[in-house]
Structures are given as structure tokens and as C-alpha cells.
Amino acid sequence: MKEINGIINGQGKKIGIVVAEFNDVVTSKLLNGAVTQLKKSGVAEDDITVAHVPGALEIARTINRMAETGKFDGLIALGAVIRGETSHFTYVCQGTTRELAAASAQGKVPVMFGVLTTETVAQATDRAGGKSGNKGAECATDILEILSVEEQIKQL
């Protein structure tokens, strides 16, 4: 039996991040968590590219453009969708989730989903460096893990 486990080693890896400006009190913390963790894991600062977009609904399009360049090994999508008083929240969540899942499943490179969808600002803050960790940092580790798994699959 062959078993594959990803290892976390960012040396030589080129990573793109797309981060939404909407709810930037939260998304700036996700970005900080992602960049800090990538660097801790061995990714060179020059190998990290960050694209800022207006809101969650614009993330997938920019992720797709970055994927098409062939210049990135992996991509991270960061955003925060927080429930307001209208159904807009639902549409933004559904659109963003569906498009990013498609980008990762069908695009050239893996895409990590670091878009928080929460009821309150407090829940989002908890997940952006607060008591429930930092989703951006998790995405940084996860992208390196999946890249390692894919490399090992190619070598079978």
C-alpha cells in the first residue's frame, strides 16, 4: 500500500493571495496571518504576490486570472462576508463559494478557501487571529500541504 501525506515546505514555492477590501478590519488580519505563516514555512517574501480586490464577489475572477498566468504554484482567497439585514449576504456567500470551489477544482492550480462567512463581526474577528485561530494562517499551511501531496502523486 502507498500512502501520501503532505509535508509543509514552502521553499521555492510561488504563492498568490487575493484579498477582499470589504470588512478590511478582518481581512487585513487574515492577510497578515497568511503571509506570516507562509514566510515561517519557508516561502520567500519575493515569491508572495498579493492582489487586493473590492469585495468577496471579485475574488474568484482575480484568482482565475492569476491561475492562468502559470506563474503561481498555489493560490489563497481571503475575504469576510458578515451577515447584514438583507439577503445580500446569502447571495455573496453562495456566489463566492461556488466560484472559488470551481476555480480550485477545475483551474490549473489549487486554491485555498479563506473566506469567512459569519453571523457577526465578533465571530469573524475570532477567526482572524482571535480565540478561534487565523483562517489566513490555516490556508497558508494547507496550500503547502496540498502542493506536497500533488508533487508526490506525480512521482508515483
Interacting residue ranges for ligand INI, rule: CB under 6 A: 20, 22-23, 54-58, 79-82, 84, 88-89, 92
Task: Give the C-alpha separation, 74 to 65, whole Å.
Answer: 13
Locate the DSSP E strands across the chain. 15-20, 48-53, 74-82, 111-118, 128-130, 133-134
* Cβ closest to ligand INI, residue 87 vs residue 106: 87
Task: Give the C-alpha separation, 42 to 94, whole Å.
Answer: 34
CB 57 within 8 A of CB 96: yes
* Cβ closest to ligand INI, residue 26 vs residue 144: 26
80 conformational bin, left if phi > 0, alpha if psi -120 to 50, beta if neither:
beta
Q: Is 88 a catalytic residue?
A: yes
CA-wise closest residue to 18 among 26, 8, 27: 27
Compute the least distance from the CB of residue 116 to ligand INI, in Å: 9
Compute the least distance from the CB of residue 3 to ligand INI, in Å: 39
Compute the least distance from the CB of residue 18 to ligand INI, in Å: 11
* Cβ closest to ligand INI, residue 36 vs residue 89: 89
Compute the least distance from the CB of residue 117 to ligand INI, in Å: 8
Q: Which residue is nearest to ligand INI (CB)?
A: 55
CA-wise closest residue to 140 among 16, 5, 46, 25: 16
Check 88, 98, 108, 122 and give the catalytic one: 88
Q: Which residues are catalytic?
A: 88
